[in-house]
Amino acid sequence: MAELIISVSGVRGIIGDSLTGQVAYDFGRSLATHLACKAAKPNIVLGRDSRRSGPIIAQALAAGAMEAGASITDLGIVTTPTVGLMTRFVHAAAGVVITASHNPAPYNGIKFLGPDGIALPAADIEQLKAIYLARHWTPGDIDTIGTYATDSRGHAHHVQCVLQFFDTRKIIQNRFRVVLDSINGAGAIPSPMLLGKLGVELVHINGQADGQFAHTPEPVRENLQQLCDAVAKHRAVVGFAQDPDADRLVIVDENGNFIGEEYTLALCVMNRLMKKKGPVVCNLSTSRMIDDLAARFDVPLIRTPVGEANVAARMIKENAIIGGEGNGGVIDLRVGPIRDSLLGMASILELLAATGKTVSQLVAEVPAYAVIKNKMNITRADADLLARKIAARFADRNPDTQDGVRIDFGDSWLQFRPSNTEPIARLIAEAPTSAAAHALIAQIGELAQN
């Protein structure tokens, strides 16, 4: 049996194996019990991506939460950022997203959001996990069970929240042709709404929110050839790719070239800083391109551990004007404290309209680095041991141990980070050349064998 992963990122497992309707039901009871300590009859906003297993997990969780006294507002198939926005909009006690993000179709998961729309803090997740493991649930009876309601306003509210902060008139004047790959995920519903209001001539591929993923969900180069070909065929100005819950965005340039997920945040930061200067926040795994842009506009850059909750919390503390993660996740607090692919699309189109330049021309203005991202199959215990070895090996480089271990070498850096959702560790190296980045990765391989 596969392991059910319970971490700061929520719950994730394989349907019918580690993640079942019973597990979801129990987590629904656990969440309601946890929330009851803070509010009587708490309301939970519930949404899911388009995975075929979504109704099983969503309905089971809703049943468990209602039995333990919480009420459910069900949004249906929506994006993760939509759940975050609607949680705040209806003043709910919490939000829940049934999604496994970029994992393949056999997976699903449960992501918990606080009343501010941000992923629950680690301390709350630990309390929730303790309740789940101990089975100490609030007892339910006919007088205390919660109510169930649906709310269809999510998509429209999300689109409105994004559009108000961009120069829609200027974007509309350009009549951009765009190819969008929604991988038949949740983004297939609101994205055409957004792009239609921006006057875009849309070529939508994999645009049915039916969960029949047309390719491996991770929005990386090897999975997006169809998008690249479509951009070239239709002579579009840009290609956009979403992941199943649409919190991440990846870009293909006007020539059909995959430019890398790191450029999403870089171009959005460029667009924001062109209009207003202010602090920028990103995680420790994000490209040095953000450092270069922050230096160009003379604004501070603050780095945090990986995880949008960490980035969003620091953005709020620093009053940052933009932030995010190098995996294609963009956060603008004016819209919401959560990664949002719709926000990313509007920002990129505004940048194209404001500059009159192509995506490839804008990319050429950002100093380029070679990034190598590898995965290592390893238990968490062994990963933590290897992290300590790496920190000791490069002790003279002042290792940053906020999240795994990161070593900086001036114009290059290396990070080893155990995953919170899988029994793997991620190795990331960035340097001016591919050879230099591979050399940094090789040093970790040598330490792992010794």
Residue 409 structure tokens: 């070498």
DSSP for 25-61, written as a single string? HHHHHHHHHHHHTTSSS-EEEEEE-S-TTHHHHHHHH
* d(C-alpha 238, C-alpha 228), whole Å: 10
**Distances in whole angstroms, Cα of residue 50 to Cα of each of 55, 108, 355, 400:** 9, 10, 36, 38
- The active-site residue, picked from 101, 182, 341, 412, is 101
- The β-bridge partners of 258 are 252
Closest CA to 333 of 324, 322, 341: 322
How does DSSP classify residue 183?
T
Per 3-state DSSP, the chain is made up of helix, strand and coil in percentages (nearest 5) of 40, 25, 35
Phi, psi of 178, deg, nearest 5: -130, 140
Cα–Cα distance, 348 to 265 (Å, whole number): 10
360 is an active site residue: no
Question: Of 301, 266, 311, 292, which Cα lies nearest the Cα of 403?
Answer: 311
How far, rounded to the nearest angstrom, does the alpha carbon of residue 126 sit from its chain's CA centroid? 21
Burial per residue of 225-239, b for 16 or more beta-carbon CB atoms within 10 angstroms, e otherwise: ebbbebbbeeebbbb
Q: Which of 416, 370, 419 is nearest to 393 (CA)?
A: 416
Q: Is the CB of residue 384 less than 8 Å from the CB of residue 397?
A: no
Catalytically active residues, by annotation: 101
